[in-house]
Amino acid sequence: MSPSDPPADPGAHDEPTPTPEPQRHQEEREESPWAFWRSVLITLAVALGIRQFLLEARYIPSGSMLPGLQLQDRLLVEKLSFRQRPPRRGEVVVFRSPYHFDPILTGPTKPGALRCLLVNLPLIGSLPGIQQPACDAYIKRVIGLPGERVVADPRGRVSINGRPLDEPYVRNYCPVDRQGVGPCRTIDVVVPPGHLVVMGDNRANSWDARFWPGGPLLPESELIGRAFWRFFPFSSAGPLPEPSAPDR
C-alpha cells in the first residue's frame, strides 16, 4: 500500500449485505398464500360473529306479510333488543321454523346450530339436498303477549282480553260463508310466560300460529331478532313502522 492510498475502513466489512432481489421476491411469494387465507378467515369470522350476535339480512320469501312487506323485500334484523327487553305487540319478528319447536312437527333430533348456520349461508344453502325445514326462519308480527287471552275468529280478526285489537296493517282477512265458516282456523288461548302469539298481516294467506299442529304458542327462546329496516327495494328503503298497539 502506498502512502497516498486512503486508510482502510475497519468497519466496512460489518455492513449488512443487502438481500438479493430474487431472494426477497421468493420470500414474499412464500408468505402470500398464508397472508391471503389469514385475511379470508378473519373476515369470515367477523362476518359470522356479526350475523350470529348482532345483525343479519333477511328477505321476504312469501306473501304472508302483505301489503306492508312485499315479496323479495330485503330487511335488516337486529338481535340486541330482545336480550334487554321483552317483545312488544306489533313488532315484526324473525324466529326459527315451527319444525324446530312445534312438538308435532319436530323430528327425533334437531339439527345443530352449526348446520343451520351453514344452511342459511347464501352459497351453501342453495346447494341441492342441503335444505333443512327445521333451519328455516319465519317472519310474522307479535299479536299476543304473556298473560293475555288471545282470540282469533274465522276471519282472522283478533281480540285481546275481550277487546278487539286495532290492526291497521291488516288489509286481507280470511273469507267466510254465510254461516261464518271459512278455511282459516281460530285461536282461543291464554298465553303462558315466556311465549308469544304471532300472525301474518295477510290473514288469508299466512301459515302462522293458527295453523301449527302443536298449538299457537311461540317460545320466546325461538326468536332470532327484530326486523327494523328495509334496505331493498331502494324506493321503499327505511325503518319499519313502530308498533302503535298498546302492550296491555
Residues sharing a CB contact under 8 Å with residue 118, sequence separation 6 or more, in sequence order:
124, 125
Summarised one tens digit per residue, pLDDT across range 129-139 is: 667 788 889 99
Rg of the chain's alpha carbons, rounded to an integer? 29
Pairing type for strands 238-239 and 223-232 reads: antiparallel
Per annotation, catalytic residue among 2, 4, 62, 64: 64
Q: Are 197 and 140 in contact (CB under 8 A)?
A: no
Look up residue 170 and give its three cell numbers.
291488516
Report percent pLDDT > 70 for the chain. 73
Q: Are 66 and 172 in contact (CB under 8 A)?
A: yes
Q: Does residue 1 carry a pLDDT above 70?
A: no
101 — pLDDT class (breaks 50, 70, 90): very high
| Mean local confidence (pLDDT), 185-199 | 98
pLDDT number for residue 175: 96
| Mean local confidence (pLDDT), 212-239 | 96
> Per-residue DSSP letters for 170-198?
--BPPP--TTS--SS--EEEEPPTTEEEE
User: 64-79: b or e for each residue (b if 16 or more CB lie within 10 Å)?
Assistant: bbbebbeeebbbbbeb
| Mean local confidence (pLDDT), 32-59 | 72
Per annotation, catalytic residue among 79, 97, 140, 206: 140
| Mean local confidence (pLDDT), 198-213 | 98
Q: Does residue 3 carry a pLDDT above 80?
A: no
Q: Does residue 220 carry a pLDDT above 70?
A: yes
64 noted as active-site residue: yes
| Mean local confidence (pLDDT), 171-191 | 95
C-alpha distances out from residue 21 to 14, 15, 17, 26, Å:
21, 18, 12, 9
Instruction: Give the separation between CA 44 and CA 70, rounded to whole angstroms.
Output: 30
> Hey, where are the domains in the chain?
48-239
pTM of the model as a whole = 0.77
Instruction: Give the separation between CA 190 and CA 164, rounded to whole angstroms.
Output: 16
Q: Does residue 25 carry a pLDDT above 90?
A: no
Question: Cell 323485500 sits at which residue?
Answer: 73
Look up residue 195 and give its three cell numbers.
311465549
Q: Does residue 23 carry a pLDDT above 80?
A: no
pLDDT number for residue 10: 53
Q: Does residue 224 carry a pLDDT above 80?
A: yes
pLDDT number for residue 127: 64
CATH architecture of the domain with residue range 48-239: Ribbon (2.10)
Listed residue (63, 77, 81) closest to 201, CA to CA: 63
- 63 secondary structure, DSSP code: S
79 noted as active-site residue: no
Instruction: Give the separation between CA 57 and CA 72, rounded to whole angstroms.
Output: 12
Pairing type for strands 55-59 and 137-144 reads: unpaired
